[in-house]
Amino acid sequence: MDPDNRWRESLFDGFDRNLDSDTAFRESLFDALADDEGAAYWEGVYGQPIHNYENTKTGPQGELERMTDDEYAEYVRGKMWEKTHAHIIEEREARERARKKEKENEERLRKEGGRLEEEREAFNRRVQESLKRGEERKKTKEMSAAWARYLAQWEHLMKNKNLSQETAATVTGLIPWPVASGKLRDVSKDEIEYFFKRGSGWKDGRTALLKAERVRWHPDKMQQRFGQHIDTDTMKSVTAVFQVIDRLWDENRCQT
């Protein structure tokens, strides 16, 4: 038998061949610790020395405690595995770093996506607000023009000395109706109220405005102004206009 085999056999002379692997490893470990030649043999088996690991561990209270034989054997086995499988550990750590990096990227993209969504919503709100302001300016401009046209038409109508010669249909068409279009077909409670409240004199002089319009649209006054040239249907519309103005007048008096 060659010397190596004889040495290996001598290591197990005192061992029970039926020992489990953990017990056999522990006993062979401590045998190697007691004998430099035995340690050299096991270094050849495992490809690394097995008797140069620290045999202290951190206890539950933080102090250094002596390991038991079983703990030390497990400690050495773990260290040996780490050295023998260093490439596996490195690959595992690399995968873990990659996974962590991917998770960080996903979180960054999620936050960036949320930020972009908030910016998009804020931009859309600004656009909508701008469009709303633009629409409001457009309506204000249109109503200012409609109000100016309304007053100008009434002024022209009051200067007309030939109303008595006009037909009923012509007179109806000449009346400047208090709606944005100025047309009889668009006369309604809401349109009349909208027209007056958006008029240039509503904000600062609504009392004077409503007083003048009540006189202008009083059915008796309109009948007196146009006489037989105003038909029954037209008078119904005149009365409807007056009723809206009269209601606004009463509401304004209650607020002042």
Q: Which residue has tokens 């109706």?
A: 177
Q: Residue 227 has what pLDDT? A: 72
CA–CA distance, 245 with 57 (Å, rounded to integer) = 96
Q: Residue 11 has what pLDDT? A: 44
Residue ranges of the chain with pLDDT lower than 50?
3-4, 7-8, 10-15, 17, 53, 55-57, 61-64
Q: Residue 95 has what pLDDT? A: 87
Q: Residue 189 has what pLDDT? A: 94
Q: What is this structure's pTM?
A: 0.52
Give the gyration radius of the chain's Cα atoms: 52
Crossing angle of the two packed helices 86-158 and 189-197, in degrees rounded to 10: 90
CA–CA distance, 14 with 5 (Å, rounded to integer) = 16
Q: Residue 113 has what pLDDT? A: 85
Q: Residue 239 has what pLDDT? A: 94
Phi, psi of 244 (to 5 degrees): -65, -45
pLDDT tens digit string along 146-192? Answer: 999 999 999 988 887 776 666 767 777 888 999 999 999 999 999 99
End-to-end CA distance of the chain: 125
